[in-house]
Amino acid sequence: MTGLVAGFAAFAIGSAFVGGGYASNLILWIAVAMLSASSMRFVLLIGELNFATAAFYGLGAYSAGVATTNFDAPFVVALLGGGVVAAAISALFGFVTLKTKGPYFLLIGFAFTEVMRLVYSRSNALGGNSGMVGIFPPSAIASWFPTVAVTIAGVVIVALYAIERSSLGKLFVAIRDNDQVVQSVGISVHGIKVTCFVIASFAAGIAGSLHAFANNVISPADFGFLLSTFALAYLKVGGEDSVFGPIAGAVLLVLLGSVAMGMGAGEHIFYGAAIVLAVLAMPKGIVGLVAALGRQVVRRPRAVAARPAR
Amino acid sequence: MQTVFQILLTALQIGAIYVLFSLGLTLIFGVMRVVNFAHGQFFTLAALLVAVVDPWLAAQGWSGPFAYFGAVVAGIAAALALGAIVYRFGFRYFQRDLTGSFILSVGLVLLCEGVFLDVFGGSVRVVPPVVRGDVAILGANIAAQRLVLGGVAVASTVLLYWVLAATRFGKAMRAVSIDHEAAMLQGIPCERIAFQGFLIATTLGAVAGALIAPISAVTPVLGADYLVKGFIAVIIGGLGSVPGAIVGSLFIALIESVGGFVFDPSIANMAIFVLVMIVLMVKPNGLLGRG
Amino acid sequence: MTAGRVLASATGLTRRFGGLVAVSSLDIEIREDEILGLIGPNGAGKSTTFNLLSGFYKPSAGRLFFDGIDITGRKPDVISRMGLVRTFQHGSLMRSMTVRDNLLVGALGGLRGQGRKACERRVDETAALLGLGHVLDEVAGTLPHGQQRLVSIGIAFAPRPRLLCLDEPLTGLNQTEVHATLAAFREIRTQFKSSILLVEHNMKAVMQICDRIVVLHHGQLLASGLPHEIRRDERVIAAYLGTRRAE
């Protein structure tokens, strides 16, 4: 935990020195990416692959957009509002859909993302297909926005990690392992699953709000199935077992992606190849690879008792 | 009355493609317990090849139907090649791993779409219909090509049913699908069955793509919309259930046809999505699924 | 040994699966402070009765009571919160988590709203009771089978249920482990004042530990009484001779 907090502090402080321009912008998008990937990872704790991440990300973005452009709400309100709106709708959605599992839950998430996209594009109040423009962070922090984003993302990810390590987090993992047993000791498995989903959706909503302020314009096309796929890519490449996974994955893919796409490669090919390679060659992601290498290095100097096979 | 019949006819022809699509998806799931989101890429590849090879063959002097037929063969061959590669280097290792195989297939979708865009370019290609003109059935109109498509869909479904029910291979596939460990104990070569099942599914997808080429605007992202609907059809019907895939496909086609007629296509799409959510809430394993 | 008032009971309990009647008009009661054994040849309906009592199956007919309250048709987690917790025959634990975390889940079920400290105390107590103190930080799936069984029992007992229902807890345990487990059962009844409903095939253990025994056959009550009575009951012996003798 201290490592995580220290890492973010260093990242945030470091980002302040990068100055404006391209690098600074990359840092901004890395922050948003790691938050969306962390949100998806959080739902993985209860054993579900959440393709509705994009839907709640989009809800956060549009809420922030509406709050800022239609209601002139202060930045903090708009930002948090994105998270709150996403969380509220996710409570209803999750309550109904978390009765399904696996590929069925995945498809419902996917379907919901598409429905929301269609809703945005048909709704004139939200700008229809052209979307919304003019979503700016307050001028006071505008030049520091990447640092602000890193800090906000860091705070949310640290909070998610704290929950993961708490009793509630243990219940999530227990449900993933054997939900029948958890039910048998009198715990409402459904209620706990919904709680996990709502928390993750709040994080996704915040990521969406940050996106809105970072990009200044949003449109329905930004929040489709592809967005969930990117979050999935960050997660698989980074490694889904560790809290550092989404962070590593986001950093690597956003950086590599900008290089690759600068050289003309398509977005699709890049992310597609990244996912395929990660799944085939490094199932535990980069963090898993590093951890395995670390164990190799440690094993030689010390005699370590062999782990019994499971 | 005539409009009702027209709507039904439209539903049937839309449904024909979804049936071919979803049969492949559900077959793969049944035999390998794999969720292949990239199934649409075989469809797209076949359509793209038909769109490219047909005019080329025609330019070589092959007459209309022969050029088309040659192109179809090329398209299906290419799709099978892609399928074999994707199986051999990918899905073979992810059998019975729902999440892993799905994630792999998502990556493949992106990769293939990107490659197709690069190789074939994003422009729309048109293939002249092989069978021209409209046919009037009971006062309702249908393009002759679509009628052929529907016919092929029905024929394929019947053929598939026969294979599954009457041939040794089909019975082996069903055995593997019901209980693959027991099938292994019986001496059924599960690995080979899985591969062959995968190839059959690929062929179904490719045939659908080849047939739709003359009717549709062919682009590298053609598969996406059909894939989603085909997927929804399979899920509604229940993963792994062949009758379920058919029921689901026709169900969606009907909604699309009615919705498109009464409202407009995007409302119809929304309705489909909402309906799939409702079905899954009431029957979490699909209408006919075993989960 | 005195048995107290009735804790859980079923009257006219019946369960049909299609045309098959698995359990038929069963009257059964479990009293406070007792260890009740539920035995019978294979197919007698023990598992079905177990699932009916714990709410995992709905009865086709008959009623279930816990603490005087009608619980017929209630959901399993509701019944668990009332004080009836059960184990499962296969895989009644979280393999990927440590023993400590496994017990913690059980404790959380019983100590809703109370702090982490109370839960940790409960975990330590439960581990001590079952002799798991030295493996608390091991991953449950890496433990030998016998200890995994103990972990399962620990999870179920951590919420301190009034009635602990154990589904074949002694399967696959060696003599020493059985002995230790039976000692734990005695502790549970005597020190913690919980009752135990035990479905078990190990006749020797059943005769040793149970205060009363109920015998099922073909889904119906065949005999019920004290261990020494059941041991000599001719109907019971006859029912078992098809599979094995009552020891």
* Tens of each residue's pLDDT in chain C, 247 residues: 455 789 999 999 999 988 888 898 899 999 998 999 999 888 888 889 989 998 889 999 999 999 889 999 898 888 999 999 999 988 799 999 999 999 999 999 988 878 888 999 999 999 999 989 999 999 999 998 888 999 999 999 999 999 999 999 998 888 888 998 999 999 999 988 899 999 998 888 999 999 999 999 888 888 899 998 988 888 888 887 765 554 4
Contacts of B285 in chain A (CB under 8 A): 104
Q: Note whether residue B272 is domain-resident.
A: no
**Least CB–CB distance from C109: residue in A177, A180, A187:** A187
Report the C-alpha gap between C231 and A171 in whole angstroms. Answer: 44
Residue A310 buriedness (CB in 10 A; 0-12 / 13-18 / 19+): exposed
Q: Do A214 and A149 contact (CB within 8 A), yes or no?
A: yes
Interface with A, mutate which of B95, B106, B117, B276 (most A CBs under 10 A): B106
Taking the Cβ of residue C95 and every Cβ of chain A, the question of whether any pair is shorter than 8 Å is answered with: yes
pLDDT per residue as tens, chain A (310 positions): 888 888 888 887 777 777 667 888 888 999 999 999 999 999 999 999 999 999 999 999 999 999 988 888 888 999 999 999 999 999 999 998 898 888 888 888 888 888 888 888 888 888 888 888 888 888 888 878 888 899 999 999 999 999 999 999 999 999 999 999 999 999 999 999 999 999 999 999 999 999 999 999 999 988 988 899 899 989 988 998 999 999 999 999 888 888 877 776 677 888 888 888 888 888 888 888 888 888 887 765 554 455 554 4
ipTM of the complex: 0.88
Task: Give ∠ CA A211-A212-A217 in degrees, rounded to 5.
Answer: 120
Residue C1: predicted pLDDT: 45
Q: Which of residues 114-133 of C touch A (CB under 8 A)?
A: 116, 119
C-alpha closest to that of A58 among A198, A210, A160? A210
Report the CATH number that the domain containing residue C60 is assigned in CATH.
Answer: 3.40.50.300
How many domains are contained in chain B? 1
Contact B108 A272 (CB under 8 A): yes
Last residue of a domain, one of C135, C160, C185: C160
**Least CB–CB distance from A103: residue in B239, B276, B277:** B239
> Per DSSP, what are the bridge partners of residue C6?
C31
**A281/chain B closest Cα distance in angstroms:** 11
Report the C-alpha gap between C139 and C101 in whole angstroms. Answer: 9
Identify the closest residue of chain A to B112 by CA–CA distance.
A269
C193 and C99 fall within a common domain: no
Last residue of a domain, one of C160, C189, C206: C160
Q: Which residues are within 8 A (CB) of B226 and not within 5 positions of it... i.e. 6 or more apart?
A: B17, B18, B21, B40, B43, B208, B212
**Least CB–CB distance from B110: residue in A229, A236, A279:** A229
C197 and C230 fall within a common domain: yes
Task: Name the one residue in this structure whose structure tokens are 């989404």.
Answer: A246
Contacts of A112 in chain B (CB under 8 A): 273, 277
C31 and C150 fall within a common domain: no
Contact A167 C109 (CB under 8 A): no
Identify the closest residue of chain A to B236 by CA–CA distance.
A104
Domain ranges of chain A: 2-224
Q: Do A104 and B284 contact (CB within 8 A), yes or no?
A: yes
Query: CA B135 → CA B132, B246, C95, distances in Å?
Result: 9, 25, 63
Identify the closest residue of chain A to B286 by CA–CA distance.
A104
Give chains near B: 3+ CB pairs under 8 A: A
Contact A280 B281 (CB under 8 A): no
pLDDT tens-digit readout, A19-69: 667 888 888 999 999 999 999 999 999 999 999 999 999 999 999 999 988
Interface with C, mutate which of A168, A184, A188, A240 (most C CBs under 10 A): A184
pTM score: 0.87
C94 and C49 fall within a common domain: no
DSSP reduced 3-state for A1: coil
Two structure tokens written together for A132 = 């919304």
Identify the closest residue of chain A to C90 by CA–CA distance.
A181
What is the total residue count of chain A? 310
C23 and C127 fall within a common domain: no
C59 and C169 fall within a common domain: yes
DSSP-assigned states of every residue in B206-265: HHHHHHHTTTS-B-TTHHHHHHHHHHHHHHHH-TT-HHHHHHHHHHHHHHHHHHHHHS-H
Do chain B and C touch: 3 or more Cβ pairs under 8 angstroms? Answer: no
Residue C247: predicted pLDDT: 47
Range of the domain at C122: 90-160
**Least CB–CB distance from C81: residue in A182, A186, A307:** A186
Query: CA B207 → CA A248, B128, B233, B287, C216, distances in Å?
Result: 42, 17, 18, 27, 60
Mean pLDDT within B136-156: 74
Range of the domain at B113: 2-222
Q: Note whether residue B72 is domain-resident.
A: yes
Two structure tokens written together for B277 = 């959510």
C153 and C204 fall within a common domain: no
**C26/chain A closest Cα distance in angstroms:** 24
Two structure tokens written together for A127 = 């700008």
Last residue of a domain, one of C160, C190, C221: C160
Report the C-alpha gap between A16 and A143 in whole angstroms. Answer: 9
C167 and C65 fall within a common domain: yes
Report the C-alpha gap between C212 and C228 in whole angstroms. Answer: 9
Taking the Cβ of residue C156 and every Cβ of chain A, the question of whether any pair is shorter than 8 Å is answered with: yes
Taking the Cβ of residue B239 and every Cβ of chain A, the question of whether any pair is shorter than 8 Å is answered with: yes
Q: Which of residues 195-214 of B touch A (CB under 8 A)?
A: none
Q: Which residues are within 8 A (CB) of A183 and not within 5 positions of it... i.e. 6 or more apart?
A: A189, C76, C77, C80
Residue B138: predicted pLDDT: 64
Side chain identity, residue C243: T
Contact B273 A115 (CB under 8 A): yes
Give chains near A: 3+ CB pairs under 8 A: B, C
How many domains are contained in chain C? 2
- In this structure, how many other beta carbons lie within 10 angstroms of the beta carbon of residue A214? 18
Contacts of C90 in chain A (CB under 8 A): none
C156 and C167 fall within a common domain: no
Contact B239 A112 (CB under 8 A): no
C5 and C25 fall within a common domain: yes
Cα-Cα-Cα-Cα dihedral of C133, C137, C140, C145, to 10°? -40
Contact A186 C116 (CB under 8 A): no
Q: Do C28 and C6 contact (CB within 8 A), yes or no?
A: no
C46 and C108 fall within a common domain: no
Task: Give ∠ CA B163-B276-A90 in degrees, rounded to 5.
Answer: 140
Q: Do B288 and B238 contact (CB within 8 A), yes or no?
A: yes
Task: Name the one residue in this structure whose structure tokens are 């063959």.
Answer: B57
Report the C-alpha gap between B281 and A129 in whole angstroms. Answer: 30
